[in-house]
Amino acid sequence: MASKTDRGERDIKSFLADVRSAMTRQPSANPGDDDNSTPEVQQSMWRAVLRCLPRDLEYVTADDSIDQNLRCPVCLAWLLDPVQLGCPAKHMLCRTCTSGLQVSPHRSVCPLDRCPFTETPPAAPAVVTSLNQLQVRCPYSAAGCSWIGNRGDLLQHTGCCDRALEECRQCGAHVRRCERLAHVHALEVGMQVQWNGSEGVGEVVRSDLLSDTVMVRFPEGIRSCLRCELVPASWTNVRPPTAADVNEGTTAHGTPAKARHAVENTNVQRRQAEIDSVLNVYEQAERINVCFVVDCTGSMRRHIEAVKTQIFGIVREMAARMPSSMMHIAFVGYRDHGDTIRLEEFPFTTSATEFKNFVDTVGAWGCGGDVPEDVLGGLQTALNLDWSIGGAATRVLIHIGDAPCHGHYYQDRDSFTRKDNYPDGDPEGIQPGVLLHNLRAKEVQYVFGKINSTTDKMIRLFDEEAGGDYIQVREMRDTRLVAETVTNSLHASVATTVTALSAGRRAPNVVKTSEDIPIWRDVVAQDIQLHRCQQVSSISDLCTGASASATQRMCMDVATVKLAALPFSQGETRAARYALMGGSHEMVAKHMKRAAFGDEDDDDAEGAASAADDDAAVELEELLSLSEVSSVAAFLADKFSADQESGKKVRFLESHVAVPQNSGKPFNLEDALPASEFRRFSNNIGWWEPDADELLMRFMRWTHDVTEGHMMVADLQGVRTADGFTLTDPCILCADVTRFGSGNLGPRALQRCATSLAARLDAPPKDSAWYLTPTIEASPAQWDVITGSAIAPFVPNKLKWAGGLTEEMATPPEASNTGGFLPALPTNFASKALTTALGKAGMRRSNAGTVNARPGMQEMAVDPLDVDAIIADLLVTSGGRRKTQLPSEKQVILLLRAARLSILAQPMLLELEAPLNILGDIHGQFSDLLHYFEMGKVEESSYLFLGDYVDRGKQSLEVMILLLALKVKRPENMFLLRGNHECASITRIYGFYDECKRRFNIKLWKLFCDVFNCFPAAAVIDEKIFCCHGGLSPELHHLDVVRGMSRPTDIPDTGVLCDLMWADPDKDVQGWYENDRGVSYCFGPDVAASFLAKHDLDLIVRAHQVVEDGYEFFAGRRLVTLFSAPNYCGEFDNSGALMEVRDDLECSFKLTRRVSKSHAK
């Protein structure tokens, strides 16, 4: 007979299965893909993701056990779905590799002998049989499957492999077969859903398959809900476990202990859902579209110039205040009827450079023969813009003008007596009221920059016709303050959007206040129990793994206190009253507004009292949490202040919990602040006021660092004192969302605040050259990655070539059955080389990763980016061998975001200084990359890679993740140029796409491609060495052509960028000639010599081609081709090379070649 515990476990499984079945209406798990079900048999809700053989299979067949002619000559891999070309030699190719061979509708050309053919019949059965006997690993071996078998049996195996991915037919999600039971369908936008069994029905407004949260619009407002807590309104709703289940002996949730665990998990999920709901509102509001509508007549020249020159400052200041923001900017210029160019329009863009270049073309001229201007035409043009671009929730129109619109009705005739050619109003019949109502309906906030008083009446009437309380007026007479005024307006607009999006989340509770200090002798004292939270004994009590009870130790005392009748101030949840304790000690009492100042005239007084009793425990818990927060903040502030050499101190007022002995409502009690101006310097989601003191920012970062990233003191507010700051009401952000009350917004807020601090503390001086470089995508959080020196480097007249070469023999990888292990490397590599190098870099542990997030991905940023852990996992030692461990998908996504920003923060044409190590194509050969790091003395060197990191090889992900991690870790020492394989269309065919799909998913491949689109195209070393991946271009007349390229961008089919990726040198060519690759050109020695002479350069270094010795000179040593993938694809007997450029520009090569296995033995 089964025990009670066993029976409970089975009940849990049955319960979960019933719930999933009710929610998804799907049959029991089907081990295969049932695409051919008959009407009598219900079709499976799942189908296999892998329905054909992938290109990047891991083969374990010995190289000499099968005919090597069965490899595809194009992709160099074993033939997949082989076809036989109709050429005389009957070459065989993979079917996918035949794409692009067609030169006319009925004629194709063999890529090997250039012979024409018309048919591609399937390969002979004997060939297919041989290929099917190849031994391969399961594509899901990284997920734990150990199957090895014939390639011909692979699809049959994946049809029943527990680790195989399957696609849900209903929602498209990819789920492993062993995890199908726990799958919850994606919820489509517009679907009607219920949440947690509530009676209200909401509408899904945003749903991302990669996120556990769904944005739902309920009648009371938009809420972020956990996907597992939502069910379509038409489905049967099954409640989650509740506290009542804990007290039941046997329940649907099993034993009481398991029910208690289920309750705890539910509480954590519910709290996380509440946090996500808050943060999603802020992040939605931080998507900003701003359109400048500017009067462009003759009198406005200085203001047009101000918008143009200060736009970079506006963009960067907004990014510094809100590092997670994403901004689009547009421009509309208007003049008057009768002017040759009446309206000029530039649509929304993320490029400040494009914006500035457009405004450069806008002149200040014209007036139409009178003083009023075509204001309504400009506003109508702005209204017609696509305000929804980027999913912006904050939409701001900034109107700058010095003259009213046409029509005497909008002109103050007492002060404005100038000529108006259209006194009856707009000649095209535009009605201001309709136009403004349409703007308001699009949720566009209207900010008017006032220059003089002639526009006062117009703006007042505009506001009335829009419904009132619409137009915000800002003073912009002084053009030097345009950036500051605009930035403050945008910040206020985002806050307004947050308020609008939060409408209905909590009802405002406004209480009556009075700033009068009471006459204390007339106030009756009351006895209280005072509960004080004791400070922790050491910082270790605040780190990960420490018990929560360490911060919750309380002591109790008794006291008397007098309270003012009315509060003098109020916040969102609490109101503050003057208090006097012990007859002389001035204090402040802070009550929960709902508890202390509720509506006493409620018709249902009995019901209100009952509700208050129900909430009493929750409110007391919140008060105790606030006391705990103040105690921890005060402890950390004392520790921080003790180490400040400047003598400046940060102090926090400790808040205690007072419980009246007359059964009154409890409240917090703390010392009164010193008499000074009260300021809020930051909040708990990473926003900072522009003039916040650096001391406060360093304190906030210090609390994060000293607790090892577990928590951070945030929401700093208080007063400035002679020796520093006295602060009150902080929040503590903690990785444990169940601690520190409602102000703790968890890991996402921790990440946002860390990014915001990096933007402020690590930014270069505002007068530095880079600070003035225009870009929106380059977040200030990455400003510290910019290289540069105030001292010009010494540049010799000519290069020097070293007399000899250094050549090393690298042991080849073992047979493929080692399960992901790499060849043994010297034992001191990890400890002495790479690890030492990272330590010597002087970079702190990286926690950046959520800045300028793309829409729909913010919900993933739960854990902070840990670059050190990523690098360490890629270099895990196991005895005498080395294996790789890829980071989690979330860590890779955070890494890609941080790397993208670091790369965009540097120019399209890198200008570098020697000494430097240069490497050519790597192509997924991870073991060789590690060997180069050892050869090149990574602990004291910088590296420039020439592109082609992925495809062909088996470990492109390891190569790319390690290089990007090093780029984020050491941005001033790692430089990655773009190769022709860093392109979506190429990686889709030659292996990287399949590797991402097999080991992660397709969306991650797309994110990699997004980063590739940001890579720089070329580099110049000490003004003498030009580096790129491919070659030169007939359109590259000046290096500024490269500097001016915008990013992100795909590689086009023609043009300079295409040629830099694809062009090849050819010693048999003079000038330019068509390239046999079918794209770009070949160029001769004369072209290389002419380019070097024209630009005063000495050498061109490029990659892109396999060369036998790893390097090959061209054009009399004016150009060198560098290739760094030895024994390329296992098919070539080539060496790999590293080019070392010393600080005096002496160049040498270090070669590596893989020895044969027999030699290695």
Q: Which amino acids are annotated catalytic?
A: 981
**Residue 172: left if φ>0, alpha if ψ -120 to 50, beta else—which one?**
left
- CA 1039, CA 1059: separation in Å to the nearest integer? 14
Q: Classify residue 81 by its DSSP letter.
A: S
Exposed e or buried b per residue across 458-493, where buried means at least 16 C-beta atoms within 10 angstroms of its C-beta: bbebbbebbeeebbbebebeebeebbbbbbbbbbeb
- Give the CA diameter of the chain: 112
Question: In the chain, helix, strand, coil percent, each to 5?
Answer: 35, 20, 45
Q: Are 758 and 324 in contact (CB under 8 A)?
A: no
Q: Write down the number of H helices and E strands in the chain.
A: 27, 53
| Burial (0-12, 13-18, 19+ Cβ within 10 Å), 805 | middle
β-strand pairing of 1072-1074 with 1081-1083:
antiparallel
DSSP state of 479: G
Q: What angle do CA 714, 550, 698 make, to 5 degrees?
A: 25
Q: Are the C-beta atoms of 627 and 667 separated by less than 8 Å?
A: no
Q: Which ranges of 227-300 does DSSP label H, i.e. alpha helix?
A: 256-285
CB atoms within 10 A of CB 192: 13
**Residue 580 main-chain phi, psi, to 5 deg:** -135, 120
Task: Give Cα separations from 870 to 496, 785, 840, 982 (angstroms).
Answer: 40, 19, 18, 22
Per DSSP, 830 falls in state I
With contact defined as beta carbons under 8 Å apart, do 588 and 576 qualify?
A: yes
Find, among 449, 408, 416, 421, the residue nearest to 336 by Cα. Answer: 421
Rg over alpha carbons for the chain, rounded to the nearest Å, is 34
Q: Is 1022 in contact with 327 (CB distance < 8 Å)? A: no
DSSP 873-938: HHTEEETTEEE--PPPHHHHHHHHHHHHHHHHTS-SEEEE-SSEEEE-B-TT-HHHHHHHHHHTTG
Tokens of 559: 């006291």
Strand extents, DSSP E, 9-163: 46-48, 82-84, 92-94, 102-104, 107-109, 116-117, 135-137, 148-150
DSSP 428: T
Q: Strand 1081-1083 and strand 1064-1065: pairing?
A: parallel
Beta strand residue intervals within 622-769, DSSP E = 649-652, 656-660, 667-671, 679-680, 711-714, 717-721, 724-727, 731-734
In which element (H, E) is residue 640 found?
helix 605-642
- Identify the CA nearest to 552 among candidates 758, 336, 278, 736: 736
249 CB burial (10 A radius; 0-12, 13-18, 19+): exposed
H-helix or E-strand spanning residue 440: helix 432-441
Nearest residue to 302 via CA among 153, 152, 440, 480: 480
Sign of CA dihedral 848, 284, 693, 702: negative
